[in-house]
Each structure stands twice: as structure tokens, then as C-alpha cells.
Chains A and B, each alone.
Chain A
Amino acid sequence: MDKKKILSVENLSIAFGGLKAVDNLSFSINEREIYGLIGPNGAGKTTVFNCITQFYRPNEGQVLFTKKDGEVLDLVGKKTHDIIKLGLVRTFQNVELIQELSLIDNLLIGAHIEFKTGIISQALRLRSAVKEETELRAKALGILEFLELKDKKDELASGQPYGVLKKIELGRTLMGHPKLIILDEPAAGLNDTETNKLADLIKLIRDQYKCSILLVEHDMRLVMDICDRICAINFGKKLAEGTPKEIQLNKEVQEAYLGKEE
């Protein structure tokens, strides 16, 4: 089967002081795939995320990303704020929304790179700035409709239930033209019903927006439910990679999570 890779991490290593947080890790994600990264607490999952999105500079290895035009690019060394321009968007473990802004304005932040006008044309309300704002606002409204939050569009983000905030953060990633969305523990803090809805939403996003999704998650049910393939890591090293079934049956993964039988 010849599937096109969207992201491949090759021999990634990063150390903080003497501690090797990620050690020679390699995995790759195909187009239109939902890929899970799992591991016990402190396994280095979030560090891998941060290395991919260039919040951290890895010591070794490559992060190869396939751009929209098919060109393959090594992300290592790129500026953090340039990553989203390539079509790689992330969310955060503890929702990073702007409390003082309405939900629709929060979505518009996700479209920041789509705005081409500068502060002067915005201050003077030149036609190009107004046009841009109207168009992207319409797009944001469409996404709110997709998330079934249209009636809340002008409410402030502060004081919204956690489930709504999580959805808005997901929606924010859709404002650019994402090719790969990276979700850091999307189900954390959600109850069972909300998690089920989230699972449906993630699949729907993949199908409607034709993108790949990489997620780090503790909620095993969600991971096993929606992921096409999973990579399990511990102490920064890869334990196993495969379909949810294969991972569940893997001895090493069981040991990492449940401990060794004496």
C-alpha cells in the first residue's frame, strides 16, 4: 500500500541536562490518518509535540513535513510562528483561549496568518482590511455552525463550560488551512458523553477538512476508538507501533502501563 506520508519524525532526540526526554524516536503519519501517541505519565509525549512544533529545538533528528505542494521540508530550526503557515496547527493541554474575547474573535485568532493587511490599513479601515475581516468572520461563523455553537458567537470565552472551550480551540485550528492538526490531550477534563461527542467531532474534522490528526491522549477508550494507528512510547523510546488491536496485545506496552508480573 502506497500511502503518502504527511509527517515523519526520524531519530528524534532531546535531552534536558542529563535527562534524555526523547531518545532516538521515529514514527510517521500518513495523509488523512488519525494517529495516536500514548505512554505513561512522563513518557515524553508532550516533549515530542513541542519538538515537532519547534517550541523546543531537538538535539538530533529530523521532522520531515510534506507541504501542500508536495515539497518535503525539515521543520527543525524553523521559527515557531512560521510552523502554522505550512499547515501544521496545534492545541494545548490546558486550553489557551483569550478570555476577554468573544468566541468568534477567538476563532479569528486562528486565522491570524490569513490576514495580509498591516496596522495602518486596519487603523484607517481601508477597503482591503474591511474586506478581509468580513470574509474571515464569515468563515469563522461557518466553523461555529459546524461546531454547533453559532448562537454563542458573541459570548465571551471567560465563564464558558470547559467542553465549549475545548471545541473552540479545536475550531481555531480549522481557521487556517490545516494539513495536520496536533491535539494535546483533547479529552482531558471532559466527561464520558463529552468524550464520545469529541471522538465523533475529530473524525468529522478529518473527513470534512481532509487533514491528518496527531493526538496525545490519556483516555485509552478515545485513543482505541478513533485512531488508525498508535505509537506507544516510554522514557522517550518507542515501545511499539501499530493498530489499536496490536498495541493492546503488545506485552511491552502492557508492562509499561500495568507493571511487570513477578
Chain B
Amino acid sequence: MKNMINSVYGKYILFGIALCLTPMLQSFGLISSATVTIFGTIIFYAIVGIGLNVLLGYSGLISLGTAGFMGLGAYISAYLTNDMKVPFIISLIVSVTIPLVIGLIIGLISLRIEGYYLAIATLGVAEIFRQVFIEFEVITGGFSGKSASYPKLFNLIQLDRALTFILMSVILVIIMILTNNFIHAPTGRALLTMRGSEAAAQAMGINLLKYKLIAFAVATLYAGLGGVLYVHFIRFAYPSTWSLTLSLQVLAIIVIGGMRTISGSIIGSFIVFGIPELVLKRLPVIGNIDGLSFIFTGILIITVVLFYPRGLVYFGSDIKKAIRSKKAADVSFKK
């Protein structure tokens, strides 16, 4: 048991099991149904955050188009399952493949442009998507939105809300494990080398094109997956959801949580999408402010960047270290 807690996989799996217990707490009446929805939100944004973390944290490339790719996954899956009656699993595969292919094309563009220009280009792509979501009413339902249902696995098992939540937790844990594996392997090291110095990367035989494509593919694949889970859990998608604000919130997840860590994306997602709803909105007076969560995220980004640039994921271990060194200092003082 102790081994399990200490290994990375063990931690991820225990975390997943703990997450799966959330719907049960609701059935015992300990937490409200709205709280479960918030935790669900945290899960799919955590997945999207991990993808952006691979892109920005490891390969150093930026994308402000995250929301567009999420929306793309969401609408395609809603259309396929609802209108075309395609089984959920197949719809899931198609709905993450299309964002992935478009991500690869943007990866090609990223060879030519960098930095701010790449950010603007990806932002442009996302805005095009948003416009398409509004105009392409046959598939997206336009301004009135598109509804979807809880997933039905293998055309047999119709999931309810609690089971959908558990399915999302399982997918999150799988994503965490897979990402952890390839990040601590040649792929992760190659991405980091590319971020540090393209010249050094080339001298070491790292094909820049290949790894830029991989980074974009991972980010857009995870964003598409997050979108699919979104639409089948929330069961509704509006075009206004997939805006720049959402992309910036996903960016906030990894800045606040911590770059280049998987658990950082989870913590960040909890802080950005959980804290405002779970805590702040329940406070007197402050809770009534419009757009409170954006103010909160904004202030937090500034604070973290100024005082804790590595991200809040290191908060716990830093406190432990501080306590330990204080203890050591006390002991030597007494001597």
C-alpha cells in the first residue's frame, strides 16, 4: 500500500478513486448537485490544461486557440451522437481526430511564425471557429445552442450523471498517466530541448518540425477531448462559451498551477474553475459581484507571477521544507 502511495501511478489512481466518490457524496446528501457539476468542470478543464501544459510548458510554443478546439470537439460529438445517432465511442474518436488534424496544420504554421505572432494566429483560428459555430446552424444550432445527452457506451449501457462523472475521472487518470509517461521519455526531453535552444536541438538530431507537430497535436487532441466531455456532461453548448476568455482561463490554469507539472494543471483547474464557484460566490457582498471569477483569476495570476512564479503546485513542498529547516535551525540553536 505504501509503495502504491509513493509511486506516481499510485498517486494518480488514488486521486481518481477519490474523485469517483464525489457523486456518492451527493447521493448521501453531503454535497449539492451543483457541486458535482463544478467538479466535473474541473475535470475536463484539467485535461485541456494538461494539453496546453505540454505545448507551452514543454515545447515553449503558445496557443490562444484552446477554446476553439474545445468547441470543435464538443459540437462534432453533439452532432454525431444526437443527429447522426453514431455510437459514443466512434463519435469520441472522430471528434478528437478532427481537432488533432487541424492542430497539425497549425503546427506547420508554427515553423514559420513564433511568439506573439503565433499567439495571434492561433487566436484568429479560434475566432474563425467561433464564427463557424454561430453561422453553421445545421450542425451547431447557432445562437440557440446545441444539446447532447449523457454517453451511451457500446449502444448498451446508458450512463447517468454519476456514471458520466466517473467515466470522466477515469479518462483524466488515463490522460495523466499517459502524459507522465511520454513526458519523462525521449519525447518530453526533445520538447524541452527545443524550448531551451532550437540550435542545440538540431545539433542533437531533434527534428524541429516533428516535435512542433507533436506538441500541437497533443494540445489540440486534449482540447478536443475536453470539449467532448464538456458537451456530454453539461449536455449543452453555446457559441459564446468558446471565446478568448476561456482560452485565457485555461492559460491561467497552468500559470497558477505550475508549468511543466501534471498535478499543477489539476490544482490550477481547481483554483480557476472551482474556488470562485465553491467558495467566493457563497461569501456575503463579494459573492454578488458580476464576473467575480475573472477578477479572482486576474488577481491570482498577478500574485503568482510576481511572488510564486513556479506555480502553486510547489506550495506544499516549499512549506514542508521551510518547517524542516526551521526545526533544524531550532535544534542547532538549542545546542
CB-CB under 8 A for A112 and B200, given A122-B182, A124-B181, A129-B185? no
Assembled-state Cα–Cα distance A119/B189 (Å): 12
Task: Write out the residue numbers on chain A whose beta carbons fall within 8 Å of the beta carbon of B186.
Answer: 108, 112, 115, 117, 122, 133
Assembled-state Cα–Cα distance A71/B190 (Å): 30
CB-CB under 8 A for A81 and B200, given A98-B192, A108-B189, A124-B178? no
CB-CB under 8 A for A81 and B207, given A98-B189, A109-B190? yes
Assembled-state Cα–Cα distance A55/B202 (Å): 9
In the assembled complex, B179 has its CB within 8 A of some CB on chain A = yes
Question: Contact at A119–B187, with CB atoms within 8 Å?
Answer: yes
When C-beta atoms are compared, the residue in chain A nearest to B188 turns out to be A122
Cross-interface CB contact of B189 among A82, A92, A99, A109, cutoff 8 Å: A109
Task: Write out the residue numbers on chain A whose beta carbons fall within 8 Å of the beta carbon of B192.
Answer: 98, 100-101
Assembled-state Cα–Cα distance A96/B207 (Å): 17
Question: Contact at A119–B199, with CB atoms within 8 Å?
Answer: no
In the assembled complex, A249 has its CB within 8 A of some CB on chain B = no
Task: Write out the residue numbers on chain B whose beta carbons fall within 8 Å of the beta carbon of A115.
Answer: 186
A153 to chain B, nearest CB (A): 15
What 1/0 mask marks residues of chain A from 103 to 123 whose CB sits below 8 Å from any chain B CB? 001001110110101010011
Q: Which of A92, A112, A176 has the most CB of B within 10 A?
A: A112
Question: Contact at B199–A55, with CB atoms within 8 Å?
Answer: yes
Number of residue pairs spanning A and B whose beta carbons lie under 8 angstroms apart: 83
In the assembled complex, B52 has its CB within 8 A of some CB on chain A = no
Question: Contact at B197–A123, with CB atoms within 8 Å?
Answer: no
Task: Write out the residue numbers on chain B whose beta carbons fall within 8 Å of the beta carbon of A124.
Answer: 178, 181
What 1/0 mask marks residues of chain A from 25 to 53 whose CB sits below 8 Å from any chain B CB? 00000000000000000000000000001
Considering only residues 208-241 of chain B, those with a C-beta below 8 Å from chain A are 208, 214
Task: Write out the residue numbers on chain B whose beta carbons fall within 8 Å of the beta carbon of A99.
Answer: 196
B interface majority secondary structure: helix
In the assembled complex, A243 has its CB within 8 A of some CB on chain B = no
Task: Write out the residue numbers on chain A whose beta carbons fall within 8 Å of the beta carbon of B178.
Answer: 123-124
Q: A83-91, A206-214, A232-240: which one contacts chain B?
A: A83-91
Considering only residues 164-188 of chain B, those with a C-beta below 8 Å from chain A are 178-179, 181-182, 185-187
In the assembled complex, A195 has its CB within 8 A of some CB on chain B = no
B13 to chain A, nearest CB (A): 15
Task: Write out the residue numbers on chain B whose beta carbons fall within 8 Å of the beta carbon of A92.
Answer: 197, 199-200, 203
Assembled-state Cα–Cα distance A85/B207 (Å): 12
What 1/0 mask marks residues of chain A from 49 to 64 whose CB sits below 8 Å from any chain B CB? 0000101000000000
Question: Contact at B206–A81, with CB atoms within 8 Å?
Answer: yes
B75 to chain A, nearest CB (A): 27
In the assembled complex, B18 has its CB within 8 A of some CB on chain A = no
In the assembled complex, B193 has its CB within 8 A of some CB on chain A = yes
When C-beta atoms are compared, the residue in chain A nearest to B185 turns out to be A122
In the assembled complex, A20 has its CB within 8 A of some CB on chain B = no
CB-CB under 8 A for A90 and B187, given A98-B192, A100-B260? no
Task: Write out the residue numbers on chain A whose beta carbons fall within 8 Å of the beta carbon of B197.
Answer: 92, 96
In the assembled complex, B316 has its CB within 8 A of some CB on chain A = no
Question: Contact at A105–B189, with CB atoms within 8 Å?
Answer: yes
Question: Contact at B203–A53, with CB atoms within 8 Å?
Answer: yes
Task: Write out the residue numbers on chain B whose beta carbons fall within 8 Å of the beta carbon of A108.
Answer: 186, 189
Assembled-state Cα–Cα distance A90/B200 (Å): 9
What 1/0 mask marks residues of chain B from 247 to 269 whose CB sits below 8 Å from any chain A CB? 00000000000001000000000
Assembled-state Cα–Cα distance A251/B207 (Å): 46
In the assembled complex, B205 has its CB within 8 A of some CB on chain A = yes
Task: Write out the residue numbers on chain B whose beta carbons fall within 8 Å of the beta carbon of A250.
Answer: none
Cross-interface CB contact of B203 among A80, A129, A133, cutoff 8 Å: A80
Task: Write out the residue numbers on chain B whose beta carbons fall within 8 Å of the beta carbon of A117.
Answer: 186
In the assembled complex, A125 has its CB within 8 A of some CB on chain B = yes
Question: Contact at A81–B260, with CB atoms within 8 Å?
Answer: no
Question: Contact at A123–B205, with CB atoms within 8 Å?
Answer: no
B318 to chain A, nearest CB (A): 16
Question: Contact at B203–A84, with CB atoms within 8 Å?
Answer: yes
Question: Contact at B200–A96, with CB atoms within 8 Å?
Answer: yes
When C-beta atoms are compared, the residue in chain B nearest to A54 turns out to be B202
Question: Contact at B182–A90, with CB atoms within 8 Å?
Answer: no
Cross-interface CB contact of A98 among B193, B202, B207, B208, cutoff 8 Å: B193
Task: Write out the residue numbers on chain B whose beta carbons fall within 8 Å of the beta carbon of A89.
Answer: 203
Assembled-state Cα–Cα distance A122/B188 (Å): 10
Known: A81-B206, A96-B199, A129-B185. 13 other contacts (CB 8 A): A81-B203, A84-B205, A90-B203, A96-B197, A96-B200, A97-B200, A100-B260, A108-B189, A109-B190, A115-B186, A123-B181, A123-B182, A133-B185
18 contacts between A and B (CB under 8 A): A80-B202, A84-B203, A84-B204, A92-B197, A96-B200, A100-B260, A105-B189, A108-B186, A108-B189, A109-B190, A109-B193, A109-B204, A112-B190, A113-B204, A122-B185, A123-B182, A124-B181, A172-B204
A interface residue numbers (CB < 8 A to B): 53, 55, 79-85, 89-90, 92, 96-101, 105, 108-110, 112-113, 115, 117, 119, 122-125, 129, 133, 172, 176
